[in-house]
């Protein structure tokens, strides 16, 4: 009998069981006790069945009636709990040393992954579950060392402690001879691995040690010819090249990842090593001097950032090679023609080298993904096989027209030919692409009628192209000499995240009495350096964008905007869109756009009237630039609601009155420019604003206070005729503020005052620095 227990998404149902042994009441009581150790409810509904049972006057009656506990398996013969499936259950808190969990003596399978035990140590009580065969504690936030009691689990065959914050030495597991799978990746383990790791654990077929601080032992490691190890991932550790020889003697090893060893002395000599069974090899991020392997089964070879100067010729006979990545090396000259004759090659990444000429790709090649970007290729574009799905060739010097042979690639979904010297028009046949990037060429004419249901990213900036599309996520037509009114039809694009109309000849208002702009996904809107004019209605920003009004939840993955349908082998996305952005008074290129990047960029137009108070609705804004317009009236106090704001530019308008004192609360604001307006009165005194240069407030009528040298104190005697006049109550408040600021240097002592001044001058919010790398 299997009684399923969804302890966190649990539904209760009664049925007549055919099992002669119902769940034991003491086992149900243990489940209730474990539930009650975590009173907080992060998910809804949680533990529904146990809630019902908990309020029952007679637990025995429930077990006899066969209540369903989804996620719990009871033994058919004894009624004891043998399996708990609590993965992704939103449990939060700390598992105590005396937890009821450790009283399930018959428990064989425990899945407790993806919960919230942040900053909680891994309890030693797990070592009391001596019947365990399967233990998954991954992605829970556990800290500290793995208790030595883990070595008591002599029946264990599967152990996953990955993606926690565990520290200390390699866990005491090498005596657990039945283990077939160990995953310790993405932790902070340090020290050496056991020298007999490959000889004592002969049942082990999967070992993942990725991203720790582990290194090989001082004594010589040995390997057993009886080892069953198939998958070995040791990437991003501190292993030396001495580890290669014992690894090469593992007879069944098919997957080996030694990429990015964080040691300056790591140089790989891969010659004279057998590795006869290897199918997957990743040595990226290491210095490779000699590379050779006798494996005839190699299908994945990843050699990115290996300081290679010669193309690996040993693969010339690799008939099973499917994926080759030699990006970010020092390879130069022509690509060997034999590469395109490899019968199984489907993915090739040759980017970020110094290859030249024009590659002679064979029309009958089996390639589906090819990256030639960031080389010195020139001349006409190569003939592309009909099987191609992803074609990237940006940052080269290809010239002439876009080849007509691309029309025969019916499965083409991503085409990136940006930063080349292509000319002419875009073929009308390119209608099925999802990502089209033709930025910075000399193309003219209209875009083809791309299928609106699949187009995700469009970047045709720095050309002379007229756009007419109906569905996008990313639109960039920067510097295309487009002369038109604002494209209100963009309002219908439900998935549009980024709009860049910068540096064109758009003109007229960006609001219409009959149209209410309301985007459902927009996070970046750059319409700068055009001829837009008119005033913005008071409610213009109130419904402009749902993500800007309602802060989206923090995402841990992905971190950047991109097309996540296509992947670069083995784990990274193939393509990220990029934009030029003006922030902190400077132009910069964002090669990757952070998910949390939220921008309103209206500078360099002819807008007039007041800045709407509804700007305060855009709570997610990080960059706001309304400079170089004709805005008048007061600065809206609602700016204080933009608590994520890091860059604010209102310079070169006709704004008047006082700067709202409320903006002192903007703790992330690292750049402010309000120069060349008609502002008066006290500059708000705060850590961020006080640290700005004088130029941020110059060119106004009558501003005073830091960072300007002019004080806001009122003259009491002998005041000249030009003495500042203030309302009595306001003047009194500003005088008190100035006095308090001055007193910082005298009250606690001059040293403290100097320290505060230094903090004001050097303050940089970490988030802004991380986003824009300034």
* Domains and their CATH numbers in the chain: 515-561+573-704 (3.80.10.10)
Q: What is the CA angle 24-25-31, rounded to 5?
A: 95
What DSSP designation does 208 have? E
**Element spanning 549, H or E:** helix 546-549
pLDDT of amino acid 349:
96
Backbone angles phi, psi at 515, to 5 degrees: -130, 130
Task: Write b or e for each residue in 211-226: b if 16 or more Cβ atoms lie within 10 A of its Cβ, otherwise e.
Answer: bbebbbbeeebebbee
Half-sphere exposure of 193 (CA within 13 A, CB side): 25
The string of pLDDT tens digits covering residues 7-44 is 333 333 333 445 457 888 899 889 888 888 887 654 53
Alpha-carbon distance 105 to 714, whole Å? 80
Backbone angles phi, psi at 314, to 5 degrees: -65, -20
What DSSP designation does 124 have? G
Alpha-carbon distance 545 to 13, whole Å? 44
Residue 347, Ramachandran bin (φ over 0: left; ψ between -120 and 50: alpha; else beta): beta
Alpha-carbon distance 463 to 461, whole Å? 6
Alpha-carbon distance 755 to 737, whole Å? 19
The token pair at 436 is 């089209």
List Cβ neighbours of 750 (8 Å cut-off, separation of 6 or more).
none
Task: Write b or e for each residue in 96-123: b if 16 or more Cβ atoms lie within 10 A of its Cβ, otherwise e.
Answer: eeebbbbbbebbbbbbbbbbbbeebbbb
The token pair at 9 is 């998404």
Q: Which of 742, 708, 710 minimizes the C-alpha distance to 724?
A: 710
Alpha-carbon distance 604 to 602, whole Å? 7
Pairing assessment for the beta strands 414-416 and 213-215 based on DSSP bridges: unpaired
Q: How far is Cα of residue 80 from the mean position of the Cα atoms in its chain?
A: 43
Alpha-carbon distance 738 to 721, whole Å? 23
Half-sphere exposure of 416 (CA within 13 A, CB side): 22
Q: Which of 334, 336, 297 minimizes the C-alpha distance to 316?
A: 336
pLDDT of amino acid 372:
95
Positions of the chain with pLDDT under 70: 1-20, 40-69, 263-266, 270-273, 294, 449-454, 461-472, 551-558, 561-578, 584-585, 687, 690, 713-774
DSSP state letters, 260-305: ----TT-EEE-TT---TT-SEEE-TTSEEEE-----S---EEE-TT
Alpha-carbon distance 179 to 754, whole Å? 61
Under 8 Å between Cβ of 625 and 647: yes
List Cβ neighbours of 318 (8 Å cut-off, separation of 6 or more).
296, 298, 301, 342
Q: Tokens 């002998």 identify what position?
A: 718
List 142's β-bridge partners, or say none: 120
List Cβ neighbours of 727 (8 Å cut-off, separation of 6 or more).
none
Under 8 Å between Cβ of 679 and 703: yes
Helix (H, G, I), strand (E, B) or coil at 372: coil
What DSSP designation does 545 have? B
pLDDT of amino acid 1:
39
pLDDT of amino acid 266:
61
pLDDT of amino acid 118:
82
The token pair at 187 is 């932790």
pTM: predicted TM-score of the whole model, two decimal places:
0.68
pLDDT of amino acid 272:
52
Alpha-carbon distance 278 to 262, whole Å? 24
pLDDT of amino acid 406:
85
Helix (H, G, I), strand (E, B) or coil at 682: strand
pLDDT of amino acid 449:
65
Helix (H, G, I), strand (E, B) or coil at 771: helix
Alpha-carbon distance 57 to 301, whole Å? 64
pLDDT of amino acid 68:
57
Q: Which of 186, 193, 7, 175 minimizes the C-alpha distance to 88?
A: 7
Under 8 Å between Cβ of 431 and 455: no
pLDDT of amino acid 160:
97
Report the side by side order of strands in the sheet with 332-333: 332-333, 354-357, 376-379, 397-400, 421-424, 442-446, 464-466
Q: What is the CA angle 399-395-386, rounded to 5?
A: 65
Alpha-carbon distance 552 to 620, whole Å? 8
Q: What is the CA angle 314-318-324, rounded to 5?
A: 85
Q: Tokens 């790709």 identify what position?
A: 361
């Amino acid at each position: 009998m299997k009684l399923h227990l969804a302890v966190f998404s649990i539904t209760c149902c009664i049925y007549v069981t055919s099992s002669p042994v119902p769940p034991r009441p003491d086992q149900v009581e243990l489940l209730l006790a474990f539930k009650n150790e975590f009173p907080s409810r992060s998910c809804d509904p949680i533990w529904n069945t146990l809630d019902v049972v908990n309020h029952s006057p007679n637990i025995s009656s429930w077990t006899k009636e066969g209540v369903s506990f989804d996620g719990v398996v009871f033994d058919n013969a004894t009624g004891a709990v043998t399996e708990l499936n609590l993965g992704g259950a939103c449990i939060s808190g700390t598992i105590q040393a005396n937890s009821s969990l450790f009283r399930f003596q018959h428990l064989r399978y425990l899945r407790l992954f993806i919960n919230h035990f942040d900053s909680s140590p891994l309890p030693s009580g797990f070592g009391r579950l001596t019947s365990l065969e399967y233990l998954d504690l991954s992605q829970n936030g556990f800290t500290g060392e793995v208790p030595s009691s883990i070595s008591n689990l002599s029946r264990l065959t599967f152990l996953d402690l990955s993606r926690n914050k565990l520290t200390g030495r390699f866990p005491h597991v090498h005596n657990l001879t039945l283990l077939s799978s160990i995953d310790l990746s993405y932790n902070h383990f340090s020290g050496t691995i056991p020298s007999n790791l490959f000889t004592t654990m002969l049942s082990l077929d999967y070992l993942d040690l990725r991203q720790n601080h582990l290194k090989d032992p001082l004594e010589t490691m040995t390997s057993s010819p009886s080892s069953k190890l198939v998958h070995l991932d040791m990437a991003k550790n501190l292993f030396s090249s001495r580890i290669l020889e014992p690894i090469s003697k593992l007879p069944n090893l098919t997957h080996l990842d030694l990429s990015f060893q964080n040691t300056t002395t790591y140089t790989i000599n891969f010659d004279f090593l057998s590795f006869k069974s290897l199918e997957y090899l990743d040595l990226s991020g290491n210095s490779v001097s000699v590379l050779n392997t006798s494996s005839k089964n190699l299908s994945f070879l990843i050699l990115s950032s290996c300081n290679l100067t010669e193309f690996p010729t040993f693969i010339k006979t690799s008939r099973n090679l499917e994926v080759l990545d030699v990006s970010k090396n020092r390879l130069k000259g022509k690509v060997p023609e034999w590469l395109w004759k490899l019968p199984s090659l489907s993915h090739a990444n040759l980017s970020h080298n110094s290859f030249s000429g024009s590659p002679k790709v064979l029309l009958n090649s089996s390639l589906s993904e090819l990256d030639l970007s960031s080389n010195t290729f020139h001349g006409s574009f190569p003939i592309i096989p009909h099987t191609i799905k992803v074609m990237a060739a940006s940052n080269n010097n290809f010239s002439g027209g876009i080849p007509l042979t691309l029309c025969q690639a019916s499965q083409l979904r991503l085409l990136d030919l940006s930063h080349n010297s292509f000319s002419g028009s875009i073929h009308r046949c390119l209608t099925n692409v999802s990502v089209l990037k033709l930025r910075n060429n000399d193309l003219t004419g209209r875009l083809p009628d791309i299928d609106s249901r699949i187009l995700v990213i469009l970047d045709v900036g720095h050309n002379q192209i007229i756009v007419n599309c109906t569905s996008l996520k990313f639109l960039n037509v920067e510097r295309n000499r487009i002369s038109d009114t604002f494209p209100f039809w963009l309002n219908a694009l439900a998935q549009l995240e980024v709009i860049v109309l910068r540096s064109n000849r758009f003109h007229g208002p960006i609001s219409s009495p009959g149209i209410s702009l309301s985007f459902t996904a927009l996070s970046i809107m750059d319409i700068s350096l055009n001829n837009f004019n008119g005033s913005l209605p008071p409610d213009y920003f109130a419904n402009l964008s749902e993500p800007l009004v309602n802060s989206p939840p923090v995402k841990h993955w992905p971190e950047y905007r991109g097309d996540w349908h296509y992947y670069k082998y083995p784990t990274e996305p193939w393509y990220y869109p990029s934009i030029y952005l003006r922030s902190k008074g400077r132009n910069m290129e964002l090669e990757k756009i952070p998910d949390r990047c939220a921008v309103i960029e209206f500078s360099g137009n002819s807008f007039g009237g007041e800045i709407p108070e509804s700007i305060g609705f855009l709570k997610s804004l990080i960059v706001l630039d309304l400079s170089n317009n004709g805005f008048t009236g007061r600065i809206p106090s609602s700016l204080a609601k933009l608590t994520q704001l890091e860059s604010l530019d209102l310079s070169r308008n006709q704004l008047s009155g006082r700067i709202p004192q409320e903006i002192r609360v903007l703790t992330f604001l690292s750049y402010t420019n309000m120069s060349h307006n008609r502002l008066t009165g006290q500059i708000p005194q705060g850590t961020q604003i006080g640290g700005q240069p004088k130029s941020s407030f110059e060119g106004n009528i009558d501003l005073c206070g830091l960072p300007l040298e002019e004080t806001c104190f009122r003259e009491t005697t002998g005041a000249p005729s030009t003495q500042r006049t203030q309302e009595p109550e306001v003047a009194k408040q500003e005088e008190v503020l100035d006095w308090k600021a001055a007193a910082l240097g005298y009250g606690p002592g001059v040293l403290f005052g100097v320290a505060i001044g230094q903090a004001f001058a050097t303050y940089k919010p970490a988030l802004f620095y991380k986003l824009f790398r300034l």
